[in-house]
Every structure is written in C-alpha cells, then in structure tokens.
Structure 1
Amino acid sequence: MLKVIITDDEVQILKGLRMKVNWEEEGFQIVGEASNGQETLELLQTIDVDVVITDIRMPIMDGIELAKRCQEEFPNIKVIVLSGYSEFDYVRRAMQEGVKDYLLKPVDPDELLEILLKVSKEIEEEKRNEIESARIRWLANSRLQEVQEQFLLYLVRDEWLEIPMIQERLKQIQLEDLGKDNIKVQFLTVEVRGSENNPDLLKERWISFQMLCKEIAKNRLGTYCFYNPNYGNVIHFLNTINSEYPHSTQSLVNDIQKNVKSYLNLETVIGVGSVVTGLREFKNGYIASLFSWSQSQLGSVSQVIDEKIMEEGVFQFSDDLERKLTNAIEGVDLIKFQEHLYSMLGDTIKQSLLSFSFLANRVLFLLSSLVKKYGIETKEIQHTIWKCQQGIWELNSQSKVRDYLIQLAKEIIEKVRVKRYSNGKLVIESILHYLNEHYASEISLTSLSSLFHINSAYLSDSFKNHVGQNFSEYLVNLRIEKAKQFLNDKELRIIDIAYLVGFSNSSYFSTVFKKHVGKTPVEYRNSIN
C-alpha cells in the first residue's frame, strides 16, 4: 500500500480528490492532508510517504518550493502538482524542481488514476532495482570478504618472503592498513562449545556462528575474522590496535561472548594473543592466541585466557632462525635441523613451560606450512602433526615434543628428497600446486626460486621442459582461466575480477585477456550462455 499526502489550501479540492478515486482498492492510502507546503514538510518528518499531490499556488509555501524541498530532503518521494491552464509557466518550473507529473484542474478521475498507477509502477521498479543493487553489493562484499579471509589465513599460516608483494596484495583487497610498518594488531582465537547432552547443537549452529562473527567484525573498524579448517568450531579475529580504531580488544571479547550467548545460546572460549607490531610478527601473534586458547579448561563454560605470553621477551623465534630451519628441511639435512631445534628447545632448565610450548608450536606451524607448500599432506604426516599438537598441549612432555617434531621433519625431508632427485619433475609439481593456490599474489620466477631454494636459471629451464611453457606464460594463462570462471558470475565487476586474479588494474587485465581469448572480458561475459 503506497502512502499519499494531499496538499491544497482549498478544503473542497481536498474533499474532491478523496472522492475521485477508490484509493485503497487501487493500492493507495491517504495518510495526511495539508493546506500548504510547510505543513506537508512537517508531516513528512513524522510519516513515511511515497507520493505527494500538491497545488501549485498556496500561501506560506507554494507547490514549487515544496517540490524543491522534497527533492533535497526526501528524494524518493514522487510529487504530482495540480495547476490551472493559465499556470503553465509554473508547471514548467515545477518540472525542473523534480515534479514527477502534473494534473490540470478540474481533475479528471481517469487522468488521476492513470498518473497514480504510472507512479506506482515506477516506485515498484525502483524498489526492485534497489533490492537488486543491494544484493549485488552484498555479493561483491561477500566475495571481497572471502578473499580477505583467505589472505589473512595465508599471512599467519604459510611461508612468504617479500613484504612489498604482500603490501601490494593487501592494497588490492582493501586491507592496506595492515601493511603499514607500525601496524599493531592482536589476535583472538574463539571456540564455541555446547552442552555435552546435545552434541549435534554445535553442528546445527556452526554456520550461524560464522555469520555472527562476520557481522561483529563488519561493525568494527579495523577488525577482521577468518577461519582455519585445521581447528574445529573455531573462528579467529584480528583486531587493529591504534588510536584511529576506537574499539578495544576487551570490547571485542565482550561483544563476542554477549552475542553468541544471546543469539545462539552457546558458550565461548577465547584465547587472546599479545599485541604484535608489523606483518612479520603476525604469525607470532596468531600462535600466541592459539596457545592461550589451548590453556582453557574443558567443559561448556565461557572463558577468556590472556597469558600475555609475548611480553616477557623470552620467545626468540627470529626470521633468521626460521630461515635456518627451512633451509635444513629443503636442503634435506635432518642433522642440521636437529641442531637448530635443540639450540632453541634443548635447554629446558632456562626455559619456562610457557616459552617452550610457544616455540614448539611455532616450529610445528613452520613444518605444517612446508607440508602445504610442497603438497605432501599424506595421512602419515597428518597423523604426526596431530601427535605433535597433542604433545604440546600436554605441557609435561618436552622430550616427547622434540621427538615428534624431529619425526615430522624426517617424514617431510624424505618427501622433499624424492622431489629433489626426480630430475626436477616433482619439484615442478610442487611449484604448480603453489601457483594454483597463490596465482593472485605477486609472483615472479625470482621469488619462486627463493621460496623453493632453486637456482632461478635452472628453475626456468626445468619449468619449460616439464610444463611446455615458460613460467610467465603459464602464470598468465592460469590467471586467464581463473578469470573466465569469475566472469560466469555477472555480479562481479571487471575491476573486481582483475584484482581477484592478480592484475593491478582492469585496463591491463582487459588488454591481456583479449590477447589470449580474442575477446575483451565484457565481450566474453556477454557471449556466455
């Protein structure tokens, strides 16, 4: 039912308009009457209205001024003016001020109904368009949010080398603030727990929990959430700590617990990591939150664990040490790995239980990222990772943890050895696996050679021999194929797709796409059945 206000300084005109049309039968409701434009504006402040029918000549505020004010303050309202034959100049001025249509006095009932139905059709069309636009915006934001979540997980879990590449990608996906050198962030690991009497409750409400977390993050500037499939019933939050972002981590914790309890009737266990500075420290901050969470008590009781474990300065896991451990694995040198591991975890007398567990977790994360990087996630390796994690959580078996980590390193080294001595074939397969996951990132032959510890000239030759294309051709073709898949989704803009597949701007993307496909992205999209 569309709501209408009638404005005229003559009472007889108002009564006549009411009688000329069966308003409710035609889908309209007269919700107010006024004798001048000022009264109408006052009514509009208190009532939601779709249509205003107004005389042109009125005291205090005439119809032209009313139309102008409506256009400025209530742009969605349709204004219809009433005028006489001698007032055509007024009507022309009124049309310039946003009037939708006009009626000549005396008003003919059929003409009035015709204009009302016309306006009704336009309003319905606008509302449909508004709903569709909102849906498109929601889809675009959902796609962007999905890409952001995947990249945040990549930052805290996988191995990466060059900060400028990461900063460029963060800029493309509208997370450029996280790439600032002095950025301070704090991670939260949030687990939901239900009643032991109803084990299916968590499964039923898991999607609702994810959506609720996304909504909480969306409403807080500088807060993001993401999901790691390695941890069940858990969502991770990143909260920016800066004067520009007014929301504290404590208020985020309160919001999560309050909303999850209120809407889902579930308990939350929240591990709070320590504040870290800069991209290089994101992994440490993330693992700190995981470690805090792992100290929680069992059972369906809401808890917040904040050990502030980074503040003591006892965790010396530098980039240099990470590189040495990685080099030992990729250089298939188990003895060297053991030496570095014992230099860090061997002296239990000078270490606290807390620092040992944190550093062991850090090594486990490093080894897990190498497993993912080389695509060697066998059941045996996954089982050893699980045993490592269990040993760390027990907190009373340091020698067992070291043995598990060495066993895991040995299993990885054996897989890497096979790839190293396969005449390059299996290493190239690992690189192809890596490219298929990270094609949207800024990748070069030089960065790949550093990442996989292979001479760049040798890698270039091996890649072409095994794949049949040089590296740059393969990467462009891969991005084009991914772009074709995205182009099937007509809700995504071309510029969105360009960023999603790793191009820095849509113009260059269109040029490359046409060169390879023979059509521009728009032409290709239009040709899809």
Structure 2
Amino acid sequence: MLKAVLFDDEYIVLQGLQMMIDWSHYGIELVGTATNGTEALTLFKETQPDIVFTDIRMPGMDGLQVIEKILTAAPETICIVFSGFNEFEYVKKAIKLGVADYLEKPITIPIMEDAIKRIIEKINHQKSIASIQLKWEDSRVELLEKAILDLIMLGEEAIPRWRENFGNEAEQVVGVTVFALSRKSSFLQNHTSYKVIQVQSGMEHLLVVFHFQLECEELFEQLVSIPEKLSIAIGSGRTYKSLGDAKKSYKEAFQALRYGQFMDESAWTRFEDIGENPQISVNLSDQEEAIIFSMRTGDKDGLENQLDTFIKQIEGSRFGPEVLEREILKIIYLGMEVAKEVREDIVKLNNADFLPHVEIRTIHSKEKMYNWFREQMETIMDWSLEARQEIKHGAVEKACKFIKENYFRDLTLQEVSEFVGMNSTYFSLLFKEEMGQSYIKYLTQFRMDQAKKLLQEGQKVGEVSAKVGYHTYRHFSELFKKYVGVKPGQYRDSF
C-alpha cells in the first residue's frame, strides 16, 4: 500500500480531506498531517511517504521550501501542491522543482479524487516501465553470461556472439583471464583497465576478466589483498591476448583451484604456480584430469575410485575390443608420463620388459582386462611414490638453497623446478609436502624477511623493493602489508 501525507495550515481542509476521501479504496494509507512547514518536514522524515499533498502557503516554512527539501532528499517522491488563483508565480516555481501536479483552491472532493486517480495511473505506468526495463536488463545480462560461457567452452567459434552481447567495449578488449572460485563471490571490482563478469555453470563459479590493457597493477592488488575472512580459494588461468584461448584459461583456472585447495591455499593460486607438463595434452577429459590429480597427490584410494569410475564409463559406452584397448592404454601411458614428472629416469618405467601395449593383446576377456588395467596403474603409482620418497628431501633442500641465492631476481617456479631436475607441477606438490607451505609462499616469506632487515637499516622502500625481487613498488607494498601487517614505510619508520 502507498503512503501519503497532507500538509495545510487550515484545520478544516485537513479534517475534510481526511474524513471525506476513502484513501484505502485507492490503495493509499494516510500516515499523517501537518499544519506548518517545520512539522511537515519532521513528519516526512519519520514516515517516508510515497505521496505528499501540500499547500503552498504555510507558516514557518512555506510549501515550496518543504518540497525543495523533500525532493532533494527523496527525488522519487510524488508531490502535489494546493494553490490559490493569484499564486501563479509560486506554481511556476513548484513545477520547476519537479512537482507532479497542482490543484487550485478551493479543494473539493471530486478534484482531489481525480488527482489521486491520475497519480495512481502515473505510479502504475512508472512501475510498468521499471518492470520492462528490469526484464530487459535481466535478459541482456543473461545473454551476456551465456555468450561468455560459450566463449570459455567453445573458444573461437563463440567470439561473434560474444561481441554482439558485450557491446561497444568489445573493440577495446586486448586480453582475457578466467578465475575459478571455491564458492560464489564478487570480490573483484571493475576498473577502467578491465571489466569483470561473474558467470556460473552448474556448480562452477567463475569470474571472467576482460582486459582493456594487459599490464594491470590494480587487478593484482585486489587479488593479493583478499581478506582472509572471506575464506575463499581462487584459481587463475593465464592471461591470453586471443579471446579464442579463453577456454585454455578456463581449464587452467580449475587446475589451479584444485591444486591450491589440495595444498590448503586460501585465497589465490595461479596456474603459473603449479606448472604444466608439455608431454600431457591440455584437452583431457574431466575423468582423465581426476586420475592425474590422484596420482600426483599420491592418493592411492582416490586413484582406485577414479579407475572404477573410468571403467564404468567405458563399460557404458559399449566399446569394441580395439577401442577398449586404445582407451585403457591411453590412461596407462598418461600415468607413466605423470610418474616421470617425479624423475624422468625412473628405471622401472624405462625397463624394456614393461610393455603394456604388448601385454594387453594377450588378454581376451573384459573382466581380466579391467583387473590387469588396475594392476598396471597401481604398479605405476607405487613406482612413483617410491621415487618420490627417494628424491623428495634432497630436491627440496637443493631448491631452498637456490631460492636463497637468487631471491632478488624474477625467480619462477619453472626455473627452480628445472634446476632440481623435476617437473614443475610435481615439484610444487613435493615442496608443499616437505616444507609445509607452497613454493610461492616460501619465496615470498623469505623475501619479506630480507626486506624487513633492509628496512630496519633505514633503506628507502623503492630500493628495498628492487633488492628483494619486486620491480613494482605497489606490488611489493601490498604484499609486505599482507605479510607484516603494516606498510613498508611505516615499518621502516618504527626503527
């Protein structure tokens, strides 16, 4: 129900309009009356009505002053003024202020009821327009989200539809990055250098960032300063200049999220921080990705479950013998590549007697083939875990020494992994297992410790930033505050 108030210094007018008009018949509740401007303004603040009926002439503060203050505070309020025949100048001013209608005195019941009907029609018309606009806006947002989902799923072929729905800014886009979230959140805010669109596909929560310029410190600052209280895990894919590569960034984002959650990383994990294996295709199925994940994380029970799921899938597809053999061998050789990530020269995998493609031809029943398949995968997993235990401590110790000697330059996960002779993805997992924290956190913490020593000596913040491996002052400053609790300049001044 709409709320209305009446302001007039004539008591008889107020009483008459209150008593003689059936306000509820029009869906209106008369919530109060006032006889002067000061009371009127107080009543308006208390009741926040939708409609104001007011006389122009009132003691203390006239109706025009009241209307001006009301429309400044709540411009959506509908105001109707009462005026005498000789008050045309006042009426003109009232119209300029934005009143919806004016009624000449004496105010009769029919005049008042006609005015109320016009107001109701106007309100209904405004609601109708607002509803249409809202539906149109919802439809436009829905179409844009659908176009973006198509872009990250299909790539190149979805670009024309994306351009059509993205609007004029599409021509300014120079890159795209996909972020996968552990739960729905809109922590990233739009900026002049990028636009963020939130989309959802089933249970997957995504933020897709369209860059208007590739170098963007503001985006990085938002990511590194995500409050711990949000309790959200984020995985980011790489930034690609070609929109057709959005699907690569999407797949990478979920890999980063998955590994980040496994390593108990709250906040942000980049795909660059977990690495990739160029020997393994980027176009793997979700099931194949899950098998790889179980092997890399040393989860034997998880591997058994994933193998069971894989067998059910291929059993349901009713493959012929040749296709069945090919699908099983694909997984076995995929498992071998994952095992070699620990150490390329795993002797048992390179043994001339390990010939799964020969052995599988000697098996002539599906049940035996499935059992053999499980045995092969479990054997590869055992070899991988054995090699992992043999090299883990030495590789991580060697890596830590290398980090301490080179922390002051742009030190990537790939470079450290190559130095210890290990695949970057496996190295990042082993590092976490051995050190209790991820490689990037270890490197950052070591850099912050060195920065504190230099700041305690009174060195300039910009110089310290460069000396500990950060070439962007703002980047260093945000990270320092996150790790230490205060800005680097404040920390230095405290000494």
TM-score (norm 1): 0.44
Bigger radius of gyration: 2
TM-score, normalization by structure 2: 0.47
